Amino acid sequence: MSALRVVAWLVVLVCAVGAQSFVVGSKNFTEGRLLGEIVAQYVRATTRLDVEHRADLGGTMLCWKALREGEIDCYVEYTGTAWSIILKEQGKTADPLRAFLHVQHEYRRRHDIEWMAPFGLNNTYVIAVRRAVAERLGLTRVSDLIGRGAALRARFTPEFVEREDGWPGLRAHYPGLDLEPLGMEHGLVYTAVANDEVDVFDAYSTDGKLLRYDVVLLDDDRGFFPPYQAAPVVRGEVLRAHPELRDALSRLAFTIDDRTAMALNHRVEVGGERFADVARAFLRERGLIADDGRVPQAAPARDDRGPLFTLWRDRGRIGVLALQHLGYVALALAITALLAIPLGVLVVRVPALRAALLGGASVIQTIPSLALLAFLIAVPWVGLGEQAAIIALVLYAVLPILRNTVTGLESVDPVLVDAARGMGMTPRQVLWRVRFPLAIRTILAGVRTAAVISVGVATLAAFIGAGGLGQPIVTGLYLNDTGRVLSGAIPAAVLALAVDGVLGLLTRVLTPRGLRE
Amino acid sequence: MVRQPRYRQFSGVFIAREDRVRDNDAMIRLERVTKRFAMPGRADVVALDCVDLDVARGETVCLIGASGSGKTTALRLVNRLVEPSEGRVVVDGRSVAESDPVALRRRIGYVVQHGALFPHLTVGDNVGLLCALEGWPAARTRARVEDLLDRVRLPARDFAERYPKELSGGQAQRVGVARALALDPPIVLLDEPFGALDPITRRDLQDEFVDLRRDGDRTMLFVTHDLAEAFALGDRVALFDRGRILQVGTPDDLRDRPADEHVATFVAHHAGGVGR
């Protein structure tokens, strides 16, 4: 027995052991992860394969990339997503079966990846309306919304606002639909619905939270929303090596309908139960398994991708968003200047207020901006969108302007102040005729700092439905589309530089001639 | 002690002013004034210790002494930039504690080192600032500014539109003097006005100051640490030392009849600088 043969046997053995492991990935949202966990537990329980579940892998593109590169063997995909995002099909179909057969065929042909039989649920978009509003206006179908736009406050997720299979397509499919939706983070929408601040929003038809809020789901009566049937997708190579996988996965077919999915999602999201426990309970209740699975491990991953062409393609819309962005910044700065400069004067004249005002402004500055926005929209009279965004911008701009006003007024040469007092100027005259003109440059430097900060903070306005250049950024993050992120981030950076430059010029003009270099 | 010609030239003026002192017609009077400054964590600093000083109407008194001797504090008591801890300050027969500080200060010109011009205002606006604050019509203010600038030998045509940063040290100081005279105050306080200037400019300004003093009936307090300047410009000189006045008298008094050893030593020590 030569050493060579030992090595050859070892290689075979290692290959065999390696092939025995089956890696299930899942997308990083509740249902994706839950279905991944169900697949993992079921395969583990019914085959000899060593199953690993990599939850929280990321969004669609990350899972897709991992699958194609063999980093994972399987994950749960939706037909609609495969249709539009992976296959990038131009046309559309509302027929679930046709869609499924098409993506199955194309995946097999192009990528050697197999679609298993679907779970049964169709997690498509659905338009939801607060029940009180729906009953008052008699809304049951999407077409009932036509002509009602003026009376309804619509908030859609940034993704939905942008996607062809979302709002733009819906509007084209239902002519006369006149909603004026603003983008808003999905997690915040439900709070807003509970506070009666939103009437119409988009949801996923299997969202567990829909069970908890008093909403009506409108019937897609003209068949616009594409089907999003969930099914495991598996690498063909793996299926050929382990034919038992096909049998195992086909036994999961049509075991989870929309209501079941909603209830399972609800148990995790609202009930706070662990994914592994909910999956195991489901499999047991259905009589699919009898033994335990392992607790899933999270494995983070990243992706870098995306050309800049989005910026050029969307230039018209980006321009509108940039103007909106600039509008917020300008309005917030004007309000802040009118507020913070007099406060700075007050601090100089009443030193007792110093700690409270400067300290307070500093504390506000340390609050993470998203936390501040989330807090603001929870305050009933602030509401959503524009007001909250402007209030947040004002709060962030106060510190630089206030601090520079105080510093500017206090750092005026004491000899000049002494001369002014000594020659018989009243305290008010000393302030407005000596201190203030001499401090104006420092004060304007504070305004300039605040402006640049505001341009940055204003990108977060998109999270609360106020639009601006943050909108493509937020959407891009959701769609994992770097090009789209940059199409918001680059103009925001350019805007910051431009604002800085313009305020620099303004500072020159407003500086008294005797003080200029 | 060698008497310099330039010094002798003014001695007649001193004698003439002596008469006013004897009238006991005091324009400024410090009565047993003590000033303590609170120092955090330490004992109070006594800047002035029971000081008496009379300045007659039209008289110029130079306050001289080392730094920290209390001369500047004494000056600032007069326009209430400093309030006495004890004692009383009387200006024109009235206790300053009872006067409105703003009204009081507008009757008292104030000149400090370097001129302390407001850099954001033109020379003309600096000089005319108080006139404007008093609500004078623009034309009257303008005429007054021109007059004042002419008097300090800075023609308004050339200088009124300039900014302070475009002036030399001597020019800035002249503008400072012009500004102090804007409302034609009966009293002028000068706090080391020529202290930071080079010797030649300084002598020019001292000469101009003498001229300026002649054409009005102003009472002036002039703080300096330069004995030559004090002897040249003051009708009388008050020598300060550690919060007390060692002697008040004409330059001749201090030189020829020193009140004690300290005065004699001080004058002798600084005599080398007198007149040059």
* Alpha helical stretches, state H, B90-185: 101-106, 123-133, 138-151, 156-159, 169-180
User: Would you state the pLDDT for residue A61?
Assistant: 82
Q: Read off the tokens for A345.
A: 């004067």
Q: How many CB atoms lie within 10 A of CB B163?
A: 20
Worst-scoring range by mean pLDDT, A379-393, B28-42, B235-249? A379-393
Strand order in the sheet with B219-224: B108-112, B187-191, B219-224, B60-65, B236-241, B244-249
Tell me whether B105 touches chain A (CB under 8 Å).
Answer: yes
Separation between Cα atoms, residue A13 and residue A16, nearest integer Å:
5
Query: Closest partner residue to A421 among B81, B113, B118, by Cβ?
Result: B81
B96 close contact with A: CB closer than 8 A? no
Contact B116 A434 (CB under 8 A): no
Of B114, B121, B130, the CB nearest to A423: B130
Closest residue of chain B to A516, computed from CA coordinates: B120
Task: Report the 10 Å Cβ neighbour count for B103.
Answer: 9
Residue A504 falls in which region: left (phi positive, over 0), alpha (psi -120 to 50) or beta: alpha
**3-state SS class at A340:** helix
From the candidates B120, B163, B173, which should be mutated to test the interface with A, based on the most A CB atoms within 10 A? B120
pLDDT value for B4: 41
Output DSSP code: residue A219: B
Taking the C-alpha atoms of residue B202 and residue B219, their distance in angstroms, rounded to an integer, is 22
Q: φ and ψ at A231, to 5 degrees?
A: -155, 150
- CA–CA separation, A69 vs A58, rounded Å? 15
Is the Cβ pair A515, B119 closer than 8 Å? yes
A205 near A58, Cβ under 8 Å? no
Q: Can you tell me the distance from the alpha carbon of B224 to that of B73, in angstroms, rounded to the nearest whole number?
A: 13
Read off the pLDDT band of B19 (50, 70, 90). Answer: very low
CA atoms within 13 A on the CB side of A494: 12
Residues present in chain B in total = 276
Q: Mean pLDDT over all residues of chain B?
A: 85
Identify the DSSP state of A227: P
At residue A58's C-alpha, the angle toward residues A54 and A60, to 5°, is: 110
d(CA A346, CA B74): 33
Arithmetic mean of pLDDT, B166-181? 91
| A59 or A475: which leads in pLDDT | A59
User: How far is A444 from chain B, CA to nearest CA, in Å?
Assistant: 16
Asked if the model's pLDDT at residue A278 lies above 80, the reply is yes
Interchain proximity A422–B179, CB inside 8 Å = no
Rg (CA), chain B: 19
pLDDT given for residue A149 in this prediction: 84
pLDDT tens string A371-383: 777 777 666 666 5
* pLDDT tier at A498, thresholds 50, 70, 90: very high
Size of interface A-B (CB pairs under 8 A): 65
Which ipTM was obtained for this model?
0.86
Predicted confidence (pLDDT) at residue B134 exceeds the cutoff of 50: yes
Residue B10, pLDDT > 90, answer no
Q: Which of A448, A445, A428, A444 has the alpha carbon at shortest distance from A345?
A: A428
CA distance A61 to A479: 8
Interval B150-162: pLDDT, tens: 988 899 899 999 9
Is B112's CB within 8 Å of A424's CB? no
Band the pLDDT of B12: cuts 50, 70, 90. Answer: very low
Comparison of pLDDT for A455 and A377, the residue scoring more: A455
DSSP B10: T
Most confident region among A16-20, A260-264, A460-464 by mean pLDDT: A260-264
Are A419 and B112 within 8 A, CB to CB?
yes
Which residue out of A409, A417, A423 would a mutagenesis test of the B interface target, given it has the greatest number of B Cβ atoms within 10 Å?
A: A423
What's chain A's length in residues? 517
Indicate the SS3 state at residue B80.
coil
The predicted structure's pLDDT at residue A77: 94
Residues of chain A above pLDDT 90, percent: 31
Asked whether the beta carbons of A296 and A275 are under 8 A apart, the reply is yes
With an 8 Å Cβ cutoff, is B193 touching chain A? Answer: no
What distance in Å separates residue A420's CA from the closest CA in chain B? 9
Per the model's pLDDT, the better-predicted residue between B175 and A307 turns out to be: B175
- Residues from chain A that touch B129, judged by Cβ atoms under 8 A, are 423, 433
Contact B106 A424 (CB under 8 A): yes
Contact B103 A423 (CB under 8 A): no
Cβ within 8 Å of A, B 138-167: 163-165
Is pLDDT of A170 > 70? yes
pLDDT mean over A150-167: 84
Residue A497, Cβ density class (10 Å: 0-12 exposed, 13-18 middle, ≥19 buried): exposed
Residue B226 pLDDT greater than 70, yes or no? yes
Strand partners for A344: none
The CA distance from A436 to the nearest CA of chain B, in Å, is 10
B11 confidence band (pLDDT: 50, 70, 90): very low
Does B81 contact A437 at a Cβ distance shorter than 8 Å?
no
Q: What's the pLDDT at B198?
A: 83
B21-42: average pLDDT: 80
> For residue A222, is pLDDT > 50?
yes
Mean pLDDT of the B221-241 span:
91
Say if residues B45 and B39 touch (Cβ distance below 8 Å).
yes
- Report pLDDT for B272: 56
Alpha helices, DSSP H only, in A2-81?
Answer: 3-19, 30-46, 60-68, 79-81
Touching check for B109 and chain A: CB below 8 Å? Answer: yes
Q: How confident is the model at residue B215 (pLDDT cuts 50, 70, 90)?
A: low
Mean pLDDT, residues A414-434: 93
Nearest CA in chain B to A439: B120
Burial class (CB in 10 A: 0-12, 13-18, 19+), A291: exposed
Q: What pLDDT score does B144 carry?
A: 94
Q: Is residue A307 predicted with pLDDT exceeding 50?
A: no
CB distance B90 to B52 below 8 Å: no
Question: Of A250-254, A410-414, A488-492, which range is least confident?
Answer: A250-254
d(CA A322, CA A319): 5
Q: Min CA distance, B253 vs chain A (Å)?
A: 32
Amino acid identity of residue A501, one-letter, is G
Which two tokens mark A29?
């949202």
CA distances from A210 to A129, A217, A233, A258, B31 (A): 11, 9, 28, 12, 88
Pairing relationship of beta strands A182-183 and A154-156 according to DSSP bridges: parallel
Q: What pLDDT does B107 receive? A: 93
Q: Cβ–Cβ of A418/B164 closer than 8 Å?
A: no
Contact A424 B121 (CB under 8 A): no
Q: Is the pLDDT of residue B262 over 90?
A: no
B24 by Cβ neighbours in 10 Å (0-12 / 13-18 / 19+) ranks as exposed
Name the more confident of A56 and A367: A367
